[in-house]
Amino acid sequence: MRPLTEEETKTMFEKLSKYIGENIKLLVDRPDGTYCFRLHQDRVYYMRTQAFRTFTVFWKFVPDKWSIGTKCCFSMFGSGSRYADNLKPSCPQFKVWVKPGAEQTFLYGNHVLKSGLGRITENTNQYQGVVVYSMADVPLGFGVAAKSTQECRRVDPMSIVVFHQADVGEFIRNEDALT
């Protein structure tokens, strides 16, 4: 586990800003303690400094045997951007709400169709990263807007409006890849 290099930090923040935009600041300056980003096995962990210290204990004691996957996984290099949805609901800039009927299909890794679209943030541009919610404001995953808000109004019900990137169903489907 090590801190990120300059380049990595840049890549990560670029990726993050797609989803949460200006709110990145909130991640770094938090009122409830100091947090840091650390890289471990292709993954970036966003963790409280105290947790990190505990972690290093293991590092020092048996460095060759520590097959530790920590918590607080935040973002991943490599296999797309997937990170635990422990973002605060206030964080994301652009949101998409899907209707109850379409929740399940999204959670099985499918794109969101126009017919399943409940609401969408105004002024979403095409190819903007969005966070997908259910109508009850349960965060379900991440996607990329296939159409802008304006276009969404006009397209036919069967066309795709949000491309699927990651969803909470992966907690179960890809359990092996999590660690």
> For binding to another protein (CB under 8 A), which residues are involved?
47-48, 50-51, 53-55, 57-58, 60-62, 65-73, 84-86, 103-104, 107, 134, 136, 138-140, 167-169, 171-172, 175-176, 178-179
| Per-residue DSSP letter, 22 | G
Contact 149, 122 (CB under 8 A): yes
Q: How far is the CB of 155 from another protein (least distance, A)?
A: 25
- Compare residues 63 and 78 and give the one whose CB is closer to another protein: 63
Q: How far is the CB of 48 from another protein (least distance, A)?
A: 7
Contact 120, 144 (CB under 8 A): no
Q: How far is the CB of 158 from another protein (least distance, A)?
A: 23
Sort strands 95-98 and 129-134 into parallel, antiparallel or unpaired.
parallel
Q: How far is the CB of 150 from another protein (least distance, A)?
A: 28
Dist. CA 160–CA 100, nearest whole Å: 17
Q: For residue 36, give the 3-state DSSP assignment.
A: strand
- Compare residues 125 and 179 and give the one whose CB is closer to another protein: 179
Cα distances from 21 to residues 64, 128, 131, in angstroms, run: 39, 11, 12
47, β-bridge pairs: 36
- Compare residues 14 and 78 and give the one whose CB is closer to another protein: 78
Q: How far is the CB of 138 from another protein (least distance, A)?
A: 4
Dist. CA 124–CA 95, nearest whole Å: 9
